A and B are shown apart, each in its own frame.
Chain A
């Protein structure tokens, strides 16, 4: 398949002075063009490591095993130069804080021209024309004037729109949005969600949305992977995850979201316990120490992914197809 992404058995560990931190373990992810894939999990679940691995930006002390196949090519096997080409050209990243994505001493327009440096076939005027068109597409009126502004002159929501425009200018086949709305107010969040959903109509690549916010994932994604302590514990169609979750962690996470309860609760649900150490991951299931349904095999053997209907899968001993 052209332009498809397949992450196969990806494990990443960081070598530190205190020993190896197993940040990702045996992660499998599939995405085909035109699809919006959500990665959801709490802090420490490995979302950021997965994003940096996909963008080929892992730090020097990271060791990755497994394969990231994009368009049939294993990204890990490429040399540094071709990786960099791919990053500018095919893979684009939208960060959480749009302020740090831009150089504070250059105007928006100049930076957006620079983002197109790989387009040798275009002149500066053509690049600026593309920028005006793209800024219009992300809902910035008065694009000509905005191109003369500096990043600090824009509001948070406006900067995030510019960051989305910057990412789309490179015509990426893979667009990774890492917590795209976390820094924004709820009204701006709704607007950015709406914008991302509108852009899907004429964008045919893969979008990966990483978020801890279940509402954002439910609004945007077609397929969802739920991560916990470095593992994908459940994956499947967005409807299957939100309406037919099988893994105890997914269920607990959904039950914790106060947005899911219209009536006042005297006590908000929580998940007791804390994340296991990633330096010495527990033998058996990573979620077993906090799991309500843990039984004998959970502490002994690592659960294998159990295929359920369609693309739905859960990594749990208590789940059977």
Chain B
């Protein structure tokens, strides 16, 4: 793969990165319009995305993983300028993106696949119109709209007759393919895909991911895939970024993160995934409790309320986000050293040791 070499040289050098995000924060303030009107003091605000720094090389695939409420969709939307940034810098293809005009220029060369494939297509427009709309909006001259739409459909393996269909006539998998075609209509250098396989059957999910992978090799764009599905992301991403309550807690090459997670949260996520094998059943959930609300962020390390190895220090002292070996970063006072085996010891079970046939 052509992207491999680039990944090796990547770590933190922003010069050759396609996308570099530095200390990005997105803030929501809580309270109704009424309370905002009567209250003279500024309302307390909450960082839904807090100080995220990441970079994406040309042609690289980055998986952004976390539970719902971790801010991963908000981060993706903020990168494209669909949400206002409270702080931070974004650089795209070497130049800083600051003004709304900069974001518009960036969006011309990047694309987003939204979470709901049918919902993101206008129900009153035919597929042909939907596919060529981006080009019309961007003022790209197009002699034959129908032919352009048919070419895009052919690119994603759909029959040309689909140009006259409406979105509701498509199956979930077909709607995803239209979403891919629409995202790639402007030949983007960056694709942001928000849960590209949510709601798809396993036999179709592979289809959509293979399609994105093939087109990536062919067209050479970089991709940021937002998902909570670990089973899928391990096969399609080069690097992983794990998010918890709006902060990155771990980043690193996908294979290494899966083989030896450093952050206890990453380890519990991996261990929570049900294994399709009745002989390797889990005993007891890897993590108890639920993701706290960003409106009530725990003190110290925000994962300490659920962390199986939390110590006194974790309750008071927020850990720094620091480098651990080649290309890996972790936000934890006590990073795991044996690939999450410690957690197994602490909870009395370990996934690999519980081979019990039924």
Contacts and interface: CB of A to CB of B under 8 A. Distances in A.
A218 B278 contact: yes
Interface stretch (B8-16, B17-25, B109-117, B281-289): B281-289
A254 interface: yes
A268 B206 contact: yes
A138 B272 CA distance: 19
A205 to B, nearest CB: 20
Interface residues on A, range: 35 or more
B255 interface: yes
B207 interface: yes
B269 A259 contact: no
Contacts, number: 136
Interface in B253-294: 254-255, 258, 268-269, 271-279, 281-282, 284-288, 290-291
Interface string A262-284: 10111111110010000000000
Nearest to B210: A267
A242 interface: yes
A155 B276 contact: no
A310 interface: no
A208 to B, nearest CB: 17
Interface in B176-200: none
Contacts of B213: 266-267
Nearest to B268: A187
Contacts of A193: 274, 282, 285
A235 to B, nearest CB: 15
B201 A215 contact: no
A207 to B, nearest CB: 15
Q: Dominant SS at the A interface? A: helix
A88 B306 CA distance: 38
B35 interface: no
A171 interface: no
Given A185-B67, A191-B285, A239-B358, A213 B278 contact: no
B209 interface: yes
Interface in B278-336: 278-279, 281-282, 284-288, 290-291
B68 interface: yes
Contact of B281 (A187, A218, A271): A218
Interface residues on B, range: 35 or more
A258 interface: yes
A38 B347 CA distance: 29
Given A189-B272, A259-B273, A239 B281 contact: no
Nearest to B254: A264
Contact of B68 (A185, A238, A270): A185
A2 to B, nearest CB: 25
Interface of B: 67-68, 171-172, 201-207, 209-210, 213, 228-232, 234-236, 254-255, 258, 268-269, 271-279, 281-282, 284-288, 290-291, 357-358
Given A218-B277, A219-B278, 4 more contacts: A187-B287, A256-B205, A259-B274, A264-B255
Interface of A: 42-43, 155-158, 185-191, 193-194, 212-219, 221-222, 238-239, 242-243, 252-254, 256-262, 264-271, 274
18 contacts: A186-B273, A187-B268, A187-B269, A188-B290, A212-B202, A214-B202, A215-B273, A216-B274, A218-B274, A218-B281, A219-B275, A257-B202, A257-B276, A259-B231, A267-B210, A267-B213, A268-B205, A271-B203
> 6 closest Cβ contacts across the A-B interface?
A215-B274, A268-B206, A259-B231, A271-B203, A42-B201, A214-B276
